[in-house]
Chain A
């Protein structure tokens, strides 16, 4: 009888723990589905990446399609090169696409916004390892204020 009670209590203990784990998995954590599974890599060169970080999302029209895999500095031109790892599910962006560094909300995190460009006969589709040439850098507040003051001074 004693042994049965212990077995029962240990069984309840393990079940509660598994229930807690399922709760954490289902309700609390995201499985980051956009970066699991097959991915391909694109590169984008920016003048300034602002506050972009590794693992920041890559969004097309607000939908997360991938994540920033790494940020390095080009050895030759000293430009930041951002490696984007994008889900295979979302492929076939034309090479006229534009990558911009945007901010979600006023104080939110920065992300890479990918804007698909026009498609034509002599336009290639971006594939694994390609570089996006049309880019818009991050907005830096100090530069904006500087430009504003400069334009004021011209009057």
Chain B
């Protein structure tokens, strides 16, 4: 008996959570556009969410590319196929590692900050005072952060892939001595703009929506206490990482399966 009660309660809570998150997003995004008021807020959030994540994305992208170059070379050289290093590095970055690792780093760097910021706004009743002044906190606080996340993550993923490929080039060509021309020409022969680059872009847009949405919802509904905000921040990182990895499998199966 208790077992069924638990199942029912969990199901209802899940449905309620998804519904609440959808209503929050809908109310934040749908409405009369106010470009004059929104643009400075969006710019500010682009700075916080995008620019401040840039350094970690660039450095981890460079190192992941270098590791791919090194690992790929030691395996491929056994088959005498070290020219295939270029496509290996480029395809694994563009299709998988670029969008996924960017989303994971973004969840840790920017998502957790969004949750903590909005949760603290709720705890210190800043959101309530906005409502008192007839300012919709969903439009003023949530919407610019959502758009900023949606815009900056695909851009960050492009940077990650580009600098990762450059890292693979440094290790493969300049250190281990793969032929320079073969590295780029074999890469160009097997990477296709629409099939590889654009599908990676679609992936990173999907991940951007999921990660930003989870971070904003968790912050907006965080319990207004210190442990509540801490729990919400942890949940943001855990849930968005799981959602990104799970969705990545589904998207890969749809795109490249």
Residues of chain A having any CB pair with chain B under 8 Å: 3, 6-7, 9-10, 12-14, 16-17, 19-21, 23-25, 27-32
Contact = CB atoms under 8 A, between A and B. Distances in A.
B155 A30 contact: no
A102 B158 CA distance: 36
A14 B191 CA distance: 24
Contacts of A23: 162, 165
Contacts of B90: 28
B149 to A, nearest CB: 13
Contacts, number: 71
Interface of B: 40, 43-44, 46-47, 50-51, 54, 90, 94, 152, 155-156, 158-159, 161-163, 165, 184, 187-189, 191-194, 196-197
A23 B162 CA distance: 7
Given A6-B44, A30-B191, A25 B197 contact: yes
The secondary structure that dominates the B interface is helix
Contact of A17 (B43, B159, B187): B159
A25 B194 CA distance: 10
A30 B197 contact: no
A11 B43 CA distance: 10
B83 to A, nearest CB: 11
A28 B165 CA distance: 9
Chain A interface secondary structure, helix, strand, loop or mixed? Answer: helix
A13 B94 CA distance: 20
A31 B194 CA distance: 8
Given A17-B159, A28-B187, A29-B192, A10 B47 contact: yes
Nearest to A10: B46
